[in-house]
Chain A
Amino acid sequence: MRWLRFIVDPPATPKGVDKRVPTPRTGVHYDTEWATGSAGKLVRRATVWGFMKPAIRIYGSPRVVGADRLTDVKGPVIFAANHHSHADTSLLLATIPAHLRRDLAPLGGADYFFKSRLSGALSALFIGAIPIERTKLSKLSIKNAERAIKRGDNLLIFPEGGRSPDGWSRKHRPGAAFVAKRANIAVIPTYLDGTGRILPKGKNWPKRSRCAVVFGQPIKPGVDEDARSFAERIEVRINELADEFGSGWWEARKRAHAGETPDLSGPDAGAWRRRWALGPAPGQKRRSPAAKRWPDL
């Protein structure tokens, strides 16, 4: 059986020689180039029309607001949206106007969507995802994004870096702003509402609830504006879109100019108070303090 051991056992590295580390082929290193051709695009188009659009219509009955703001927009651009759920990507792929959706590449967490070669292949093929590291601004992540922009793709980035754990938004990371600044392209602030009720973090099966997407005016980074302040501007715009959705455009604009736009990140308080401030879920009733549980006897 020596011949079998010869075949199976790897050779020993001589002492004094650095062991060669193979280039990883998962995570942010996953090469998605193979899925960017016309065959890949055809698969994604079929996925959007055959699965995502019907699914999001059944589960979310989405309301689309502000699509008229994108009429004149020509790619490449970056869609930057708040993030509550895996349904967010489906919602956006189903509702972004066709002329910008055709070449849309969502940036997906390398540690989640590209954890294995199989999950990476599925993400690249069916949603056109590109791997990006969520915890840091790595060179490879930027390179992946820039390569897509050079190809003419529009990017979809969730600047919060992950799904909301409690229904409130998290502080934006500067990734989207950094890429927009480097490539000098516009960002379309986008507010998503209600997807957290369809498929919240921690759940595996969706339930029906209404959702909405609000597209904002494209904004470009200023000449002297750094990525961090541009990221803050994007966050403010998304807050304003949320306010517009909740209370109407005119009231939202007045509050925006007065600097009184409510923050999507919620109150700075303990976990239960943050949850309480979200209000009751649709269909649930919060008992008023005056209501009595038992009748007076």
Chain B
Amino acid sequence: MEKLPVGRSRVIYPSEPLNGLKDPDGEITQALLNPIDEDPLPTLLTPGMKLTIAFDDISLPLPPMQRPDVRQRIIEAVLDLAAEAGVDDVHIVAALALHRRMTESELRHAVGDRVYEAFAPHGLLYNLDAEDPDEMVILGETDHGDTVQMQRRAAESDLVVYVNINLVSMDGGWKSTATGLSGYAGVRSHHNPETMKKSTSFMDQENSELHKSNWRQGDIIKSQGPRIFQIETTVNTNMFGYDGPLAMLQKREWEWSMKDRASFSAMQAGLKRMTAPQRRKAFHSWKAPYELTSVQAGEVEAVHKKTTEMVYKQHLVPVAGQTDVVTMGLPYLSPYNVNSIMNPILVAVQGLGYFFNLYRGKPVVRKGGVLIMSHPTPWEFHPVHHPSYIDFFEQVLADTTDPVVMAHKYEKQFAEDEWYRHLYRTSNAYHGVHPFYMWYWCSHALEHLGGVIVVGGDNRAVRRLGFKPASTLNDALEMAEDVVGPKPTVTHLHNPPILMADVT
């Protein structure tokens, strides 16, 4: 627990979780039978057709949800209709683009044992391999020069059904297929410093260059690619349950009961006595009791419009005016360290990439302001999941923290490294270029902010990131005054759960 300066501080809390759908399976069936701007799914399924079902990978949702995962519910419903129509040629693919391959247990968790056991042993359920030269095709190029790449099987299918989970407003839409089923050639069109700097923010689709690029790629997919039947879902912010052992984490502190305070103290005392791997194991074993709040299917853009409305309904919190200093505690989890280690680069992207960009209108912190985040930031990497991150941290960040400079000097070398390519294709490693994208994700924040301070982090690791380390929040606030002047206004973004600041 920390104290903020009296009289000039405010805490922004997320909204209450929306009510979940009472009959999720029934709503899924309804969505498939009554899609938006698209024919009902049963009419699109015919014997002898090629059907590809693609789904979001391990990076969504966070934390992973309790069984049955919403992807399992949807894929089973789609397959049931396909079985009824007599469709035999079905492939199910984890649309992970340049993310790491999912393990068997992760795939089983996402699609369920029934689907896994029916398809995986025959090689019909698999992770996308975006580095297989024979299995990726270029569909075309947009008038802005964005290359559109897609997995060959999906591109040659009569129908691609995409199963999405929209955790934040950045997800979904054409980003699902244009990015998820693409490889380096397609992704680099928008995962670059220039695009990210122009995305203010990438959580706000109207002002996101990242989305504009994906939507341009979507136009090419519409004209040159397969027919897409998009299924999007939203979940509420019930990450830790209403009455479980971690329920207090999604409550406002002043609402904590005696039981909550006791649980928190016990958890804190327990965590102090645990080693880092034990802490990680304990946290990563948590499965969120998310409830489905909406499901919509049909034409990509029409569906995504409705999905975004639901995401905003859950996440948007009105915030009056900007602040000099924004503070935040970072969670144990980011999209890229599920069942893994949150290394320093992922700490940076969680604070400066995701949380900083969770705004609409203008950033919570003013131009030239300071961002203070709390995280242990250990100099530690998962050697299987993040091999290229290790070299990026040692070699690239030691040379420069400027996204533009590193893009020109180092990106190609990492992206085309044969060893990283091999690990991506055969092990469970993120693609060689992935740490660059993480750093580009921070571009807008790095350009906007006057300084970044990490409280409680490993000093060496924090300095390597180009940030300043502080031992306590009070020290950090004092250090921030050197940048923004005396007695700054302070805003604390409370998480979890997720919130999106609607700054006016």
A-side interface residues toward B, CB under 8 Å? 65-66, 68-69, 71-72, 217, 244, 248-251, 253-254, 256-258
Contact = CB atoms under 8 A, between A and B. Distances in A.
B75 to A, nearest CB: 11
B114 A258 contact: no
B83 A256 contact: yes
B119 A71 contact: no
Interface stretch (B66-74, B211-219, B465-473): B66-74
Contact of B83 (A68, A69, A72, A250): A250
B55 to A, nearest CB: 16
A81 to B, nearest CB: 19
A71 B70 CA distance: 12
A256 B84 CA distance: 8
Given A217-B25, A257-B83, A257-B84, A249 B114 contact: yes
Given A65-B113, A254-B83, A256-B83, A248 B118 contact: yes
Contact of A244 (B23, B90, B114): B114
A273 B437 CA distance: 67
Q: Which of A65, A68, A250 has the most CB of B within 10 A?
A: A250
Nearest to B68: A68
Tell which of B23, B72, B114, B115 has the most Cβ of chain A within 10 Å.
B114
A258 B87 CA distance: 12
B86 interface: yes
A217 B76 CA distance: 12
Given A65-B113, A258-B86, A250 B68 contact: no
B35 interface: no
A215 to B, nearest CB: 11
Contact of B67 (A71, A250, A251): A71
Nearest to B121: A248
Contacts of A217: 25
A66 to B, nearest CB: 8
B217 to A, nearest CB: 32
8 contacts: A72-B23, A248-B117, A248-B118, A249-B76, A249-B117, A250-B115, A250-B118, A253-B83
If over half of A's interface residues share one DSSP class (helix, strand or loop), that class is named, otherwise mixed; here it is: helix
B67 A253 contact: no
B24 interface: yes
Contacts, number: 44
B358 to A, nearest CB: 30
Given A71-B66, A71-B67, A250 B86 contact: no
B79 interface: yes
B432 interface: no
A222 to B, nearest CB: 14
Contact of A253 (B72, B80, B88, B112): B80
Given A72-B23, A248-B117, A254-B86, 9 more contacts: A65-B113, A68-B67, A68-B68, A248-B118, A249-B115, A250-B79, A250-B115, A250-B119, A254-B83
Contacts of A71: 66-68
Contacts of B80: 253, 257
Given A248-B117, A257-B84, A68 B112 contact: yes
B244 to A, nearest CB: 14
Contacts of A258: 86
B118 A249 contact: yes
Contacts of B23: 72
B178 to A, nearest CB: 29
Contacts of B72: 68
A45 to B, nearest CB: 21
Leading 7 A-B pairs by shortest Cβ distance? A250-B118, A249-B114, A253-B83, A257-B84, A68-B68, A254-B83, A248-B118
B68 A253 contact: no
Contacts of A254: 83, 86, 88
